[in-house]
Structure 1
Amino acid sequence: MPTGLPAREQLTEPISLEALLAVLLAVVWLAWLQFVVCTVIEVSSFVSDRGLPRPVPLSGRSQALARALVGTFLVGTSFLGTSGAANAVVAPAPERSAPVIQAVDGSGDREVAQEVAGAEDQAEAVEESRAPRARMVHVPGVPSSMTDVIGRKVAIVQPPDGAYHDNLWDIAERTMGDGRRWKEIYELNKGRKQPDGQQLVLGRLIQPGWVLIMPEDAKNVTRVQAAVEAPPATTPASPVEQGPAAPADEGASVSEAPLTPMASGGLLAAALLGALLAERRRRRGLANTAEELEAEVQLRIGADEERARRLDRALRGLAELCRTERLQLPQVYAVTVSSESVELHLAPRVETAPMPWAVQDEGSRWTLAADVDLPLEDGPAPYPALVCLGRDDDDRDVLLDLEALGGLVSLSGSDAVAREVTSALAVQLAFSPWSDDQVAHCYRLSPAAAQIAGSQMQVVDDVDALLASWSGQRRHRPAHDVLSGRLRRSDGETAHYLVLGEAPSPASVELLSDLTGENDRGVAVVSAVPVPSARWTLEVDEAGRLRVPLLDLEVQAVRITADTEQEVAALFAKARETAPVHAGDRVAVPRPPRAGEDDHWATAPARVGVLGDLAVRTTGQLDPARVQLATEVVVFLALQQSPVHPSVVAASVWPGGVTPEVRDATIARVRDWLGTDSAGNHLLREDEEGRLFLSDDVAVDWHAFCALALRARTSAPHEEIELLRRALQLVRGEFLTGRPSQRYAWLPRTRLERQSVDLVVDTAHRVVELSLPNDPGGAVAACRAGLRLAPASQVLWRDLVVSESQNPDGPGAPAVVAEMRRALAACGATPEAETEALVEELLPSGADPHGEAIA
């Protein structure tokens, strides 16, 4: 630290060691003076509460450092200066005017009773729990019982990122542009009970997972909305049997608190998620922001992928059965899908069904049990116009075949909700797994819906011209003819789908009525507004309850709200853009949070495998019915970079809400299931602040891969290639395949699906560089290992083509090119220009040695 200014003689004398030291002293003095000036300016600005001061010239980093130090010092002294008073003040009791929402049926009384002391308070709490309860639209990380945040903007305290811990100053700076406004956040939240049972009091730091009420001008935060109460459920006309009940605490994964429409989207969310993941398999898209990833989390929470796959397989399998047994495909107007079965509603009745379908009600219904193992068929979709309307009170997804309804379908009731439902139907026509590549036309619908669907939705400006072209193209065919012809799409029969956001002209309505007549099929029209000539009118209210009067059906409708449309559209937009793997020389290797390489992975008694099929090995025993949940908890903890609070685990693994009792009981079971180390210490541990983490004795293949890749970066070439080959031997398949549907919704927040592909491709490519031309067989093995995790990586396919062209023991480049084209086609990808140029360079004739075309 300088103590005085240098003398004039020191500045003018000839350069010497002493003079050089004097110059350095002057530089240090000027830097110190600059920092002092910045500190004084920041303190003055903070005390006067004038907001952010103007930048000091040439002092960017010094001023930023001064701002951080001043903020930390003043926030800390404000807390410490009043900590004595805090000790004498009893923390305020939580307000009793806000009702509590139960997370699990029957558990509310117990949870409320534990929050109050004394028998009188317990009785009062139980009485309150029986009263009508306020509900909120679900926000990830916000417990359903925290009703004081309804209508307010909230921020969630983030988990630690390495050595960084979230704090009030940084939250204020990133949401309001001024860290000095941390006091406003503190005043809004002091004394409020947080999800982990603690409170923000003087002298106490904030914890990950806490929910902070924010000032109204805060940006990039979520406002918690009050949920619109649905009317009492009516008794269904034909109830289905209920499946076996889950264990009481396992059932806590389903909350009574309503989720956002997309988080309860079921088949709609499954269609969107499937299309999004398909886009990402075709190319490496742009990276998503944290807000966009939260929209993806909502999609994964709601996506019922298991039901969607089962429905698709059942319908395509039925088409194949009818083809092979020479039966006419039945005319289906509605489908219901439950956890127990797929049920087709037929008109007219058909009393003979191919096995394993069962005939019900004299042929008016066909059912297929959920446990029937059907072969995977890839033939044409027999009912491509099926759209899911929503889920009924018996947890059945209800679908209508728009082509089979014999007339135009319009919605009435709430205009805003009708448009949201119509957008959901339009997206399904473009994306549903049980349909083929088809195009839906939309007129005056939300632009974001068209952005989501991309090339599979065309925006129409002139409905009259479109309908005229359809009328000229089509020939009148009986419904049963078209049903049979659906199995021969190659004959040129094209279905036409139109979704209207506004009512068309009377002339267009008349033409639509003719095109959608009951004796003709292949045209489906849905209108978000009432149309006088509509044969089918669906009624939807503000709460999203949709009624189909002709069928006496009522469901909670599928919807895509305006906010959700924008978020999902951003996900698809970035997935459709191609981004380079890295801007520099190599992909950065993340530093693993635990020690251990492949030798530790091979011998560890407890390990977590994510580079391929999900695999967790433990030393303890657990009820098989609880293994899925326990596995997700273990994988979640294994993929965190630092310890996490139990409330963070709960918000991630139980996005619909869970009681503290269930959360703690599950964690205790997981601790016993993982077992102990050689010294008898549990492998699932807690730090001094109660945060959870896994011991280094638990091996994780991803961390072992990163450890080997990291060590290879500083090794000589001969050692580097050996380390990278050892890393690639850990790769078994695509990242975390085989995980259950509607679990692991938190995975996008880790960004590991993208990061793992980048690093594995980079590793395999580096091995190819080090292997060729001396070891083409080793290069081929590296490419094959990388393609197990990234099957559509054209970097690795090009490497494989080059390697096989130099490999005397391989099948040769022509066979690999043919294999590559098949693999890319299966992903819906097309060869990049660089790939095509390489193929043309190596195989200019375009044919293999046997004369068979490879293109």
Structure 2
Amino acid sequence: MSPTIGRVRGAPRRVSRFCASVLLLLAIGIGLPAVALETARRRFGSANPLSGVDPPWSWSVGDALSAPLADGTVVDALIRVSVIIVFAASLIIVVTTIMEIVHLVRDGGLHRPRPTGLGWATALGRYIAIGLLVVVPLASPKVAVASATPAVMNLASDAHPVVTATALDNGVVETFGHSASIGSSGAPLSGQASAEPQRYVVQRGDSVWSIAAALTDGDNEATLNVAERILDTNLQRTMNDGRRFTNPALIDIGWELMIPADVGGLAPSSQTADSEDGADAFPLDGATSNDRYVVAPGDNLWDIAASHLGDGNAWTAIWDMNGGDTMVDGRTFDDPDLLVAGWILELPARTASSPAGPAADPAVVGLDPTPAHADASSGADADRVADPTDTPSAGHEAAPEVEINEAPNRVPQAEPPPDQPVEPEEVGTSSSPGHESQRGPRTPDTTPTPAVSASAAADSSDRASATPTPAASTTTSSVATVDVGADAGAATDAPSTGSTSPLRLEHAAILATGIVALVGVRRRARLRAATPHSRMPKSHEAHAATERRLRVSDPGERLMRVDIGVRAIAAALPDDDVRIGWIELSADGDLRAQLTGDAALANPWVGDRSRWTLDAAIPIELLAQQARQSNMPCSALVHIGVTDDGADLLLDVEACGQLSVDGPAAATESILNAVAVGLASSTYAEVANLITVGLPESALLHHRNAHCVADLPSAVNRAAAMAPHLPDGRSTFGLRARRTGGEVWEPTIIVVGGDHGTCALDTPPPGVAIVIAQPTKAGDERRPDEISSASAQLSQTERGWELRAFGSHRSVVPTGVTANDLADVSALLNHCATPTDEPSDLDDLEPQWHDATPTDDATDIELDHAIVVGLLGPLTITDDTGTPATFERSKTVELIAWLATHRERSTRSGGRSALWEIDVRDSTFANVVSEARRGLARLSAPPKDSEWIPRTLSDELPLDTRVVTDAALIEHRLRHARVQPPHQAVETLRPAVERVRGIPFSGTNYLWPEAEGISSQLILLAITAASELAGHALSLGDTELVFWATGRGLAVLPGHEELVGLRMRAYARTGDLAGVRSEWELYEQVVTADPWSDGEPAEKLVELRRELLGSPSS
């Protein structure tokens, strides 16, 4: 865009708009109420419109309805109502204007969502707010459209569509076809051809307003128009991560927003601010550089290295830097021969000795090689706008001829003009090799360098053909390339394999949730058996990192919809001939069930007879009554992948009978691992028999009914021996759904990895299913009759992975668990089952939560403190009197809790890594720290000449020692009570146990407490305090105190063996044997309620029960 376009609305126009908004605000806020008041005063003798009106309790409604109405009465009523409406409307508009101004300033120019029913007030308030702010720069930084390329390609013909990538703020817009420019109103400039919508990849710090501002050079009115058009185009769309865009104020990193064609394609502007139009100037923020590249259709590593590093052999450096990374679409870059359009690669810096990349020929790529500051006489197009103040802009250049070359569609990335400034990245956010901040697992940085993909120069193709290169990559994009050489026909007719890697474990929310649940069960089993004063075994950072990966994704309440929906369908199906084949669960909660046959629809399901759909808007409560009539009928329901529209697909492998997984060996192995892990971590398959062939034993996660055999015939024989005997004409689906015979009718699932057979197997008996791998090698062509015997196939096609079963098919990206992921999960589960460490000498125990040295001085029983961070229960921050602190940001409370539990390694980088899974701006973290300082200071005055969170010039972020946790206070009293007699120890421990309010961190969803073992340590501390107090109370004969103390502990961990034993002894002490039996039954219920539990009680409690009740038969 030319700078003149951005300056059309200069200072005079802004002042007039400001004056109009002020006058309108005065008229609405003061003028109309004044007129209403004067009208009421003249009519009623008082400004109060209700003056002279009798109170409601004295009204005679009957007389008023029966008596004739006088004209004066009607006029009075109209005037009173009108005055009240004018006052209310004025108040609403003024309040709306204030809220709109605050929202615009705080959120970088983004408007508030329109509240239902108040659109009229929002429109007026928005108009006034924009006018008031039009002369005041917004508080948030504005971003200029800055590019490393001096112009953007304009195509002269529609016949040869190519892909361009334009730097927009700190993101990338992929444009297919023509580029268009916009005027100040957000409409396309005359003479610019419209094209298909562009795609913009949302980057860190983006908002809809900032994206629109970058497309309009910051003109507020044009920005408003463009922002609203972007919202109109994208609201309610399902984004590429499966979530739906429903809140205009919330866009997530990696989302692809569609930019309307007639407002996108803006050329970079080199406009600079002048003193008059300073409000129009957008300072450069995070200008893109040559260390990012957006993969275009047809790219390969050799050509990228040749174009941008000057040497095709440098492709190995790009692979070393990016290999194994998780890309923006969730896939892993694990094959140098496979690039997917839209991936963002990090490029190593060009060395001084590296030859310069091939210069882009403007006749080929449509780039103006002249720098933006060049004089018009130095080669600028004659068709540009003749404005002496205008800088060159692609929006005003004549479209050059597009040359069709004989080389594959490769284009080097244009170098930035030598005089273009590139501001350094934010401190601590460098993503260059060797300079990553210590913020936990690396997340994909989607800030690309602008890369223009079109036909490459001929010398680039000649050099590429003369040197051995990695195999040409194939992409999932369907954008056509243009080749007219001798091999053009073969090139365009060759099908794209569309091969994609399976989704990583952390991107499969349902599978990860099952593993996390299994981790929790094993942790609880270990903690129940722990004795007082036990310590958790030392945790390794690798275990914490694995658990954080698993906890990142959370399906929330969607799994409940699956459970209730499946049960409701089973209750509605009339017979055993039709069962559920698979379930699709969208990010919004839409439930789609594919049946194995036709069945009449039941309310509130819609669709056809074989595919039932439950809209997300329908509450599951409507299905509850029907769902109660059925058990869970699909014991082998396993997460198989994500569909092309972002829905999770759960497949009932038992319904398939045989499922063949056909694809590359590495991919099929990871998919089979995912199926085995998914079954072993599914609560539905808790009673299923699982048999594996050719898979690691750890793939079944030590499932209670796991069997590993050497070959397929042995597996089939064992499955046949385990298969339940079914009544004639009945299926396990129907028997389980109707609770027939009180049996579970468990299925047997065989998972066969490697190359252990073919799909030409006999049909498995009822209740038995086989999932078998059919790995293929490069160039291997499988005959149709070799894969047709399987009743269901998950196979890789030229379009990607496709599931075919039950007379239907679905494109999916399957879930995979690599060997490394499987080893990490297995190590985490083994660590969770490791028994706690029992101390040999309590006096040698080092304090975990404070550094105080215990003494016998009674005055030192309470640890010196001013502020208490409550962890045992809902997270609280109070002063020493119990007054709670208030904070605006939830992250502030989490940061204080993290600092209080990580005193030995309390650093800024560590806190950022724990609190955010993505890299956040320094300003964001600084705001959280500042609010923590202010909030703590408001709660309690900090020490003189200091702060509760002292300021440092290093990475350290310490917390004052007088800010303590409730765990530190409890531990301090425990150390004192250890050397005290029982009656004194009771007085010491009672306040400590009173601080035990519930499960640690209850009501939060923080990732770090469980992953780092902090929650388990807090549970052990609470159990120790409760059991110590209960033990002393029992020795003093105070059974009421025993029940109170143990009740506090059991609220933290139900079924703890030590606490249950104390309660049983207390009941026996009072002669209440019924209480002993009741306590034993409650304990058994807790043990058997855990999934994957064998229901076996602890041996020491069995012996105690036998001792207290007097005989084994009691």
Identity %: 18
Alpha-carbon separation, structure 2, partners of 1:485 and 1:478: 12
Greater percentage in helix: 1
| Equivalence for 2:1044 | 781
Alpha-carbon separation, structure 2, partners of 1:149 and 1:427: 38
Structure 1 residues 459 and 379: CA distance shift in structure 2, 3 A: farther
Q: Which amino acid aligns with 1:366?
A: T
Indicate yes or no: 2:665 matched with 1:404. Answer: no
Structure 1 residues 301 and 746: CA distance shift in structure 2, 3 A: same
1:812 partner SS: helix
| Equivalence for 2:987 | 722
Of 584, 594, 601, the residue aligned with 1:352 is: 601
Deviation, structure 1 residue 458 = 0.9
User: Aligned ranges for residues 32-47 of structure 1 at < 5 Å?
Assistant: none
Q: Which amino acid aligns with 1:536?
A: A
Indicate yes or no: 2:712 matched with 1:463. Answer: yes
Q: Which amino acid aligns with 1:447?
A: E
Alpha-carbon separation, structure 1, partners of 2:1101 and 2:771: 42
CA contact (8 A) 1:389 1:557 kept: yes
Per-residue CA deviations over 1:217-271 (Å, capped at 9, x if unaligned) read xxxxxxxxxxx99944789xxxxxxxxxxxxxxxxxxxxxx99923323111111
Structure 1 residues 335 and 316: CA distance shift in structure 2, 3 A: closer
User: Aligned ranges for residues 133-532 of structure 1 at < 5 Å?
Assistant: 137=324, 196=428, 231-232=475-476, 261-284=504-527, 287=537, 289-304=539-554, 306-307=556-557, 309-311=559-561, 313-315=563-565, 318=568, 322=572, 331-347=579-595, 348-353=597-602, 357-361=604-608, 364-367=611-614, 369=616, 372=619, 374=621, 380-392=631-643, 394-405=645-656, 407-450=657-700, 452-468=701-717, 470-471=719-720, 473=723, 481-487=731-737, 488=739, 490-491=742-743, 493-505=745-757, 510=760, 512-515=761-764, 522-527=768-773, 529=775, 532=787
Alpha-carbon separation, structure 2, partners of 1:232 and 1:782: 62
Alpha-carbon separation, structure 2, partners of 1:211 and 1:309: 27
Structure 1 residues 699 and 372: CA distance shift in structure 2, 3 A: farther
| Equivalence for 1:768 | 1030
Deviation, structure 1 residue 377 = 7.0
CA contact (8 A) 1:598 1:705 kept: no
Per-residue CA deviations over 1:253-294 (Å, capped at 9, x if unaligned) read xxxxx9992332311111111112111212249735414423
Q: Which amino acid aligns with 2:802?
A: R
The TM-score with structure 2 as length reference comes to 0.50
Q: Give the unaligned 5+ runs of structure 1.
A: 1-95, 151-191, 213-227, 236-257, 849-855
Structure 1 residues 634 and 822: CA distance shift in structure 2, 3 A: same
Q: Which amino acid aligns with 1:381?
A: M
Q: Which moved more, 1:636-645 or 1:769-778?
A: 636-645
Structure 1 residues 210 and 320: CA distance shift in structure 2, 3 A: closer
Alpha-carbon separation, structure 2, partners of 1:795 and 1:734: 18
Question: Aligned-residue CA RMSD in angstroms?
Answer: 5.0
| Equivalence for 2:873 | 612
User: Aligned ranges for residues 445-844 of structure 1 at < 5 Å?
Assistant: 445-450=695-700, 452-468=701-717, 470-471=719-720, 473=723, 481-487=731-737, 488=739, 490-491=742-743, 493-505=745-757, 510=760, 512-515=761-764, 522-527=768-773, 529=775, 532=787, 533-540=789-796, 546-548=801-803, 551-585=808-842, 588-592=846-850, 608-615=869-876, 619-620=885-886, 622=888, 627=890, 629-642=891-904, 644-668=906-930, 676-679=938-941, 686-689=951-954, 691-693=956-958, 700-713=965-978, 715=980, 717-740=982-1005, 744-748=1006-1010, 750-774=1012-1036, 775-807=1038-1070, 812-827=1075-1090, 828=1093, 830-844=1096-1110
CA contact (8 A) 2:872 2:997 kept: yes
Alpha-carbon separation, structure 1, partners of 2:1096 and 2:728: 39
Structure 1 residues 652 and 779: CA distance shift in structure 2, 3 A: same
2:703 partner SS: helix
CA contact (8 A) 2:864 2:962 kept: no
CA contact (8 A) 2:670 2:817 kept: yes
Alpha-carbon separation, structure 2, partners of 1:229 and 1:477: 55
Per-residue CA deviations over 1:430-483 (Å, capped at 9, x if unaligned) read 221344422210011123314x23333210224324424544756688987443
2:635 partner SS: coil
1:657 partner SS: coil
CA contact (8 A) 2:503 2:816 kept: no
Deviation, structure 1 residue 319 = 6.7
Per-residue CA deviations over 1:297-327 (Å, capped at 9, x if unaligned) read 344334425256424542465278659xx89
Q: Which amino acid aligns with 1:794?
A: E
Between the two structures, name the one with larger relative contact order (CA 8 Å, sep ≥ 6).
1
Alpha-carbon separation, structure 2, partners of 1:320 and 1:686: 62
Q: Which amino acid aligns with 2:683?
A: P
Per-residue CA deviations over 1:498-530 (Å, capped at 9, x if unaligned) read 000134456xx55x43217xxx56534343537
Q: Which amino acid aligns with 1:443?
A: V
Alpha-carbon separation, structure 2, partners of 1:130 and 1:367: 43
Deviation, structure 1 residue 789 = 1.5
Q: Which amino acid aligns with 2:811?
A: E
Structure 1 residues 689 and 309: CA distance shift in structure 2, 3 A: same
Q: Which moved more, 1:416-425 or 1:770-779?
A: 770-779
The TM-score with structure 1 as length reference comes to 0.63
Alpha-carbon separation, structure 1, partners of 2:572 and 2:991: 51
CA contact (8 A) 1:431 1:453 kept: no
Deviation, structure 1 residue 534 = 2.5
Alpha-carbon separation, structure 2, partners of 1:211 and 1:383: 36
Structure with max Cα Rg: 2
Alpha-carbon separation, structure 2, partners of 1:414 and 1:674: 57
Per-residue CA deviations over 1:608-650 (Å, capped at 9, x if unaligned) read 433134456764463xxx64x5544343333222573333222
CA contact (8 A) 2:689 2:746 kept: no
| Equivalence for 1:75 | none
Q: Which amino acid aligns with 1:842?
A: L
